Amino acid sequence: MRVSNMTSAKGNDVPNQFEITGVTIKNPKDRRCNITGTMFQSYSSNIAFRSYGDGTFLDEQYWDYSVTTGRYRNQFLGEDIAHTRARIASGEYKLVNLNK
């Protein structure tokens, strides 16, 4: 597992905004198995998880928590809020509890 700070538009490390690679979690689609991927964490809350093959999951409570969280969530996902909302509505992104 590797933890790195997200970077600002000016290239500086941003405190309390992290990308964690090599994370293993219970698969929200099938709790009987685990999946591995990359997690975006804001302060101590897990916000988004991109698996290495099972899709993208957003925390149902915190995915749109604040302006700062949103800025770095957008950076993590490589898209703006409108695209994220469209992917949630289409079912491509699943809202789950990533903070159990």
The pTM assigned to this predicted structure is: 0.93
Number of neighbouring beta carbons within 10 Å of residue 77: 19
- Residue 13 identity (one-letter amino acid): D
Per-residue pLDDT, averaged over 2-26, amounts to 96
- Mean pLDDT, the chain, integer: 95
CA distance 71 to 44: 17
Burial code (b: 16+ CB inside 10 Å, e: under 16) for 25-64 equals bebbeeeeeebebbbbbbeeebbbbbbeebbbbbbeebbb
